[in-house]
Amino acid sequence: MHYLDNILFAILLLLGVGYFTLNCKKILRNIRLGKEVNRSDRKGDRWKNMAMIALGQSKMVKRPVAGILHIIVYVGFVVINIEVLEIIIDGLFGTHRVFSFLGPVYNVLIGSFEILAFLVLVAVIIFYIRRNIINLKRFVHSDLKGWPKSDGNIILYFEVVLMTLFLTMNAADFHLQNVSGGFMHFHTAGSFPISQYIAVLFEGVPNATVYVIERAAWWLHIAGILVFLNYLYFSKHLHILLAFPNTYFADLNPKGQFENLEAVTNEVKLMMDPNADPYAAAPADAVPTKFGASDVQDLNWVQLLNAYTCTECGRCTSACPANQTGKKLSPRKIMMDTRDRMEEVGKNIDANKGVFIPDNKTLLNDYITAEELWACTTCNACVEECPVNISPLSIIMEMRQYLVMEQSAAPMPLNAMMTNIENNGAPWQYSQQDRLNWKDEN
């Protein structure tokens, strides 16, 4: 019977981790749908970015209330899960609190886990109030209608349930440790600054019942963690894992520096240099088969990683001048749409034995409209604000590039300006010969 528990636990663990691994493979496959981009340079800066922004949460605290609450939940979640290691060993080998041989260190660890669990509960309640009662503008935005709003709340419920189970398990354990004369294998181990107060509820309850409560909380706690792990794939909470690679592979160029298209740069050089040979043959691979991006496969893999990492926090949208002035653009929606389309393409590939069958849809038009794209002022506020170094602007720019260069579909004033630059070498509609007329005035 004893071994049956261990076998059941091993099966549960295998199923949980196995399904998660399958979904990780899908995420990786979808990210690889993107074009190649080299982000292997400046490794020192990249590690620093990851340490400061993903691990150190340095951009989160720009908004102190949300930032500090987030750090509590983040640290709490990561640190408390160290205990998961103990649970896994106990579950697999039938031990009980296997790390208790650490003595006073173990007491400090369990004590700090409990305090963190309590703080996480408080932070989660405040988060819930901010999202659902105070209704902060960025959380009641139209981007979040439907599933994204439910997703934000579901994860809060998850946290409450997991932390409550953790404290209940400890409270029952504490009670059984203190049964006079001892109870089964429950020897004294750990300190319980929070759950000792919950344990008062067990006074007068038969020990066998408290034991059942302890076991139930223990099993539900680990099962809940495995469900949570697998829920990540369907949720914006993938950022818990992807914030690390995302900050590492982020663009390190100064904000505002755009990637020039080599083929276009060469054309312009020819135009500007009177001595250049206009008939000189360009290398065959100098001209791309498609300019800009109309679908997710045209974006690079870091942009697709960005889409999976987006936390849907809306800091970008709340700082976006286009959005603030009532335009249709929301940089958060750009990232959410990119992820949704990437998922759609991924499902298409899964359904068609590894091959994408065109579905008459594209990211452009079916998800993101030209109106949204042209509302962007390219100010970079969204990039600056993003707590995990995402660049919605880079996607906007590539889609605009497609509109201009593949479809000649720029707005009228822009087309007129570009025609003037092409014909007159200046954005205004007058001949180059008239350029110095101003000096003859007066």
Residues that bind ligand SF4 (CB under 6 A): 310-316, 319-322, 329, 331-332, 335, 376-382, 385-386, 388, 390, 392-393, 396
Enumerate the H helices of 82-233 as residue ranges: 82-93, 104-132, 147-177, 195-198, 207-231
CB 304 within 8 A of CB 338: yes
| Closest to ligand SF4 by CB, 46 or 332 | 332
| Closest to ligand SF4 by CB, 43 or 137 | 137
Amino acid at 434: D
Residue 317 Cβ vs ligand SF4, minimum distance, rounded to whole Å: 6
Burial environment of residue 392 by CB neighbours within 10 A (0 to 12, 13 to 18, 19 or more)? buried
Structure tokens at 415: 């087309």
Amino acid at 401: Q
Could you tell me how many residues make up the chain? 442
CB 9 within 8 A of CB 91: yes
Residue 324 Cβ vs ligand SF4, minimum distance, rounded to whole Å: 9
| Closest to ligand SF4 by CB, 217 or 383 | 383
Residue 326 Cβ vs ligand SF4, minimum distance, rounded to whole Å: 13
Contacts of 316 (CB under 8 A, 6+ apart): 331, 332, 335, 381, 382, 383, 385, 386, 390, 392
Residue 143 Cβ vs ligand SF4, minimum distance, rounded to whole Å: 8
| Closest to ligand SF4 by CB, 117 or 373 | 373
Contacts of 33 (CB under 8 A, 6+ apart): 296, 297, 301, 304, 342, 345, 346
Residue 251 Cβ vs ligand SF4, minimum distance, rounded to whole Å: 14
Residue 124 Cβ vs ligand SF4, minimum distance, rounded to whole Å: 19
Helix, strand, coil share (%) of the chain residues, nearest 5: 70, 0, 30
| Closest to ligand SF4 by CB, 144 or 169 | 144
| Closest to ligand SF4 by CB, 178 or 380 | 380
Rounded CA gap, 82 and 231, in Å? Answer: 20
Residue 416 Cβ vs ligand SF4, minimum distance, rounded to whole Å: 22
Burial environment of residue 146 by CB neighbours within 10 A (0 to 12, 13 to 18, 19 or more)? exposed
CB 372 within 8 A of CB 231: no
| Closest to ligand SF4 by CB, 288 or 321 | 321
Rounded CA gap, 152 and 135, in Å? Answer: 13
| Closest to ligand SF4 by CB, 50 or 210 | 50
Whole-angstrom Cα Rg for the chain: 28
Rounded CA gap, 52 and 58, in Å? Answer: 6
| Closest to ligand SF4 by CB, 167 or 310 | 310
Residue 391 Cβ vs ligand SF4, minimum distance, rounded to whole Å: 8
Residue 342 Cβ vs ligand SF4, minimum distance, rounded to whole Å: 15
Residue 429 Cβ vs ligand SF4, minimum distance, rounded to whole Å: 27
Structure tokens at 64: 């102190």
| Paired strand residues for 389 | none
| Closest to ligand SF4 by CB, 72 or 376 | 376
Strands, DSSP E only, in 306-389?
Answer: none
Structure tokens at 150: 């439910």
